[in-house]
Amino acid sequence: MTYLDIIERTVAEHSDNLKSVADTIWSFAEIRYEETQSAALLADELDKAGFSVTRQAGNIETAFVASYGEGNPVVAILGEFDALTGLSQQGGATRYDPIVKGGNGHGCGHNLLGTGALAAILALKACKDELGLKGTIRYYGCPAEEGGGGKAYMAREGLFSDVDVAFTWHPWDENLAYNARMLATNQLYFTFRGTSAHAGFEPHLGRSALDAVELTNVGCNYLREHIIQDGRIHYAITDTGGRAPNVVQAQAQVLYKVRAPRMDQVREITERVKEVARGAAQMTGTELEITFDAASADLVPNVSLARMMHREFEKFGAASFSNSEKEFAASIQKTFSPEVQARVAKRGKILSEDLNAFQEEPTFLHGSTDVGDVSWLVPTGQVYVATEAYGTPPHTWQMVSQGKSRYAHKGMLQAGKVLAASAVQTLMDPAIILAAKAEHREQLGGESYIPLIPAEATPQRLR
Ligand SMILES: [Zn+2]
């Protein structure tokens, strides 16, 4: 039996259970650092499969590491399982229909991500056992990808220190070996405290924290013009100070997110944003408290790993979908904005059944991921696999609605196979890891990993 046969057989054997695990995590819909049930479910599966499992790895409540085998090389598969706030949605619906108003939902498909990674490690273990492959294989249960920087904390705790190579994937609307850079990011709260007063009788006694928030935003909106092109500044007002206009708001808060291609650029822009907030406090006579929230490093591409993953993906091909699956996907597409529908119509795609050509030159995506922190320490390879209607915008109810669909399951299992095959390759051929490491050194250009999270910071749940 070849490794490809072993992978196909193992994933088929486990497929019913894997689908049910993914659906259960979808129902838990636990957000950053609250993923206790989701992490326990995955960790239990790995326990049953004969892995030695460290729960609360690195003292992070919902992180875990499951290990099998011994010695070198050490090959890691990364799994995520966190949901997003405000995205509660019935599965299989073609209109916005929350299960719980304001509740959480899997708007980025991480129920599939973590479970597809589980499929991969189970198939990898079967290959290791049956083909007598040497080395250590690990599943990293990585919490809080969505704005929580889970992997950055895991990296800080040294959990990846002996890993030779890491693989992961992401649910997407196309099939590709991912070869791209992404932005480093830093997130911090500005909490302003002023003095409350009757806005009619005694406004001169009030010092408005809401004014300070607004002035911070005005200042940063001017600052935008004077930062690098690829820099990004976003904010969300997390506390407006109340709903009464006749009360001077004594407390208000805004959450800032700064992004840039490199960590040092993020540091520089963050300092300037902080100065703006300090200026706003001075202008309004309020006190400012700055609290770090989360951060992640930029993503370091590894072309040699991506190329190898593309070849493994070719061996399995992309999943194909039935007419009824395409019908549901098409009805989801009809709910997209006119702009997205126009883009979808241009491509004429419902569900992607082909593998994109490999891009030799890394592209640039203006998003961020905490996979970035791992990629600074370890050569990291990723594939993106079609689990959703073409054009589906991430972090939307449409994404949640498709998260338990038959085609989402198919894509998830396909991802598991490709990850397993890629990892098997690294166990069979040491030259792959050597090449990946040589390229990794080159990509870093002598820089070492200095995480954006401050030394004293701890993993934070969403406030
Ligand atoms: Zn995601």
| Domain spans of the chain, in order of start | 3-182+298-444, 184-293
86-131 pLDDT tens trace: 999 999 999 999 999 999 999 999 999 999 999 999 999 999 999 9
Sign of the Cα pseudo-torsion (271, 272, 277, 282, in order): positive
| pLDDT of residue 7 exceeding 90 | yes
Q: Report H helices in 68-109.
A: none
Between the CA of 2 and the centroid of ligand 1 the distance, in Å, is 32
CA of 106 to the centre of ligand 1 (A): 9
For residue 79, the CA-to-ligand 1 centroid distance in Å is 11
Residue 427's identity, in one-letter code, is L
* pLDDT tier at 463, thresholds 50, 70, 90: confident
pLDDT at site 75: 98
Q: Is the pLDDT of residue 147 over 90?
A: no
Question: Once rounded to an integer, what is the mean pLDDT over residues 393-397?
Answer: 96
Q: What is the rounded CA–CA span in Å between residue 141 and residue 383? A: 18
- CATH topology for 184-293 is Alpha-Beta Plaits (3.30.70)
CB-based contact 147:107 (threshold 8 Å): no
- Centroid of ligand 1 to alpha carbon of 226 (angstroms): 30
* Token digits of residue 163: 């890993």
C-alpha span between 274 and 162 (Å, rounded):
37
Q: Are 141 and 44 in contact (CB under 8 A)?
A: no
195 C-beta neighbours (distance < 10 Å), count:
15
Task: Please name which of 47, 49, 50, 29 lies closest in space to residue 38, comparing C-alpha atoms.
Answer: 29
- Judged by average pLDDT, the poorest of 9-13, 127-131, 291-295 is 291-295
**Is 251 in contact with 194 (CB distance < 8 Å)?**
yes
Q: Measured in angstroms, how far is the CA atom of residue 296 from the centroid of ligand 1?
A: 14
Q: What are the residues whose beta carbons fall under 8 Å from the beta carbon of 186, sequence distance 6 or more? A: 257, 258, 259, 266, 267, 270, 295, 452
Output the CA 145–ligand 1 centroid distance in Å.
7
CA of 119 to the centre of ligand 1 (A): 18
The domain over range 3-182+298-444 is classified in CATH as 3.40.50.1100 = no
Cβ-Cβ contacts under 8 Å for 248 (sequence gap 6 or more): 194, 195, 196, 197, 198, 199, 203, 205, 206, 207, 208
Closest CA to 96 of 104, 87, 106: 87
pLDDT band with cut points at 50, 70 and 90 for residue 25: very high
pLDDT at 363: 93
217-260 per-position pLDDT tens digit: 999 999 999 999 999 999 999 999 999 999 999 999 999 999 99
Cα of 297 from ligand 1 centre, angstroms: 15
Quote the pTM value: 0.93
- Tell me whether strands 232-239 and 251-260 are parallel, antiparallel or unpaired: antiparallel
Between CA 350 and CA 337 the distance in angstroms is: 16
Paired with 55 in beta bridges are 64
Confidence of residue 462 (pLDDT cuts 50, 70, 90): confident
Nearest to 447 by CA among 271, 230, 262, 269: 262
Average pLDDT across the chain, whole number: 97
* C-alpha 324 – ligand 1 centre gap (Å): 27
Mean pLDDT of 277-290: 98
407-417 pLDDT tens trace: 999 999 999 99
| Ligand 1 centroid from CA 398, angstroms | 14
Q: pLDDT for 206-227, tens place per residue? A: 999 999 999 999 999 999 999 9
Average pLDDT estimate for 394-405 = 97
How much of the chain exceeds pLDDT 90, in percent?
A: 98
Distance (angstroms) between ligand 1 centre and the Cα of 370 equals 10
Q: Hey, is 119 helix, strand or coil?
A: helix
Which tens digit of pLDDT belongs to each residue from 315-357? Answer: 999 999 999 999 999 999 999 999 999 999 999 999 999 999 9
Q: Which residues surround ligand 1, an ion (CB under 5 A)?
A: 108
Task: Give the end-to-end CA distance of the chain in Å, rounded to a whole number.
Answer: 52
* Percent of the chain whose predicted confidence (pLDDT) is above 70: 100
- How many angstroms does the Cα of residue 110 sit away from the middle of ligand 1? 6
Residue reference for tokens 């993503």: 299
